[in-house]
Amino acid sequence: MKYAFKVRYIGKNYYGSQIQFENGEEIEKPTIQGTLEKAICTVTGEKTTENNKRPIKTVFSGRTDKGVNSKGQVVHFKYDKPIVASKFVYSINEILPPDISIRDFKETKETFHAQKSAKRRYYRYEFINRRNKDAFDGDLMRIKYEIDIDRMQKALNYLIGEHDFSSFKSAGSLNPSKVCFIEKAECKKLDDDKVIIDIVGNRFLYNMVRAIVGTLLEIEGHNLSYEHMKKVLEAKDRTKAGQTVSPYGLTLIEVQY
C-alpha cells in the first residue's frame, strides 16, 4: 500500500529536507526526511537495522535547502499494513520535534508519486523593507533602502511563460535541465513593511527563487531599469544575475497535482 501526506516544517534547524550521503553512508546531520522517517518507524513499530538503515523510505515532492520552510511539502511512502489515518497523524505529531508536523494523511493510488506526479509548485519569499528593525521580524532579511513594488512587478512579468532559467541556477546543481514554465510571479507590500513575492511554476532549479529575488533587489538597490531582468534571463549566465539571498524567507506553500 502507498500512503501520502503533507509535512509542514520550519527549516532553520535542519540541513535541508533531503537526507545527505557521503560515500554511500548517511551523514549524521539533522534533515526533515531523516527525522520524519525515524518517527514513522517508531509509530509503525518497524525497527532500524544494526547499520542504522530504516525499513521505511519516504519520497518528497521536491528538495528544499537548509533554512527553507514548508507549509505544503508532499510525501509518500510504501507500507504493507493498513494504517488508521487519525491515529497515525496524532501519534507521529506527538513525537516529532515542535518545528515539524504532518497533516492530510491518506492512502493513495499505486501510480501516485509525490515528485513525478506534481503539476506545479508554489513558493513564497518574504522580507522586510524598513530601515529600523523590529523584535518580531524574526529571521527575515531586512532591506533598508526603499524599493518600488510596481517596478519589481514589471521585472517579474518577464519571467512568465516557458524559459531557460540558467541565469538563476546555482552552480552546485547536478540537474542538467534548465527550462521551467512560470505561471505566476507577483509581489506586494503589506502594512507591516513585509514584502511578499509569490512564484508558481511547474518546476524550479536549485536556488532559483532566491536568485530571482536577489536580482530584483540588485535592480532596486542600483536603480537599474526593470528591463534588466529580461537581459539577465536572456543571458543564460548565472554571473549576470543577483546574489542568492537568505533562505530564511522562503517557504514552499503548496504542491498541486
Concerning whether 191 is annotated as a catalytic residue, the answer is no
Q: Would you give the distance in Å from CA 143 to the centre of its chain?
A: 22
> The C-alpha cell of 82 is what?
493498513
Q: In the block, which residue shows the cell 542504522?
A: 52
Residue 211's nearest CA partner among 65, 79, 103 is 65
Residue 229's nearest CA partner among 145, 143, 163, 179 is 163
Query: What CA–CA distances, in Å, run from 167 to 41, 157, 203, 235?
Result: 41, 16, 15, 7
Q: In the block, which residue shows the cell 507549509?
A: 71
Catalytic pick among 65, 104, 137, 192? 65
- Residue numbers annotated as active site: 65
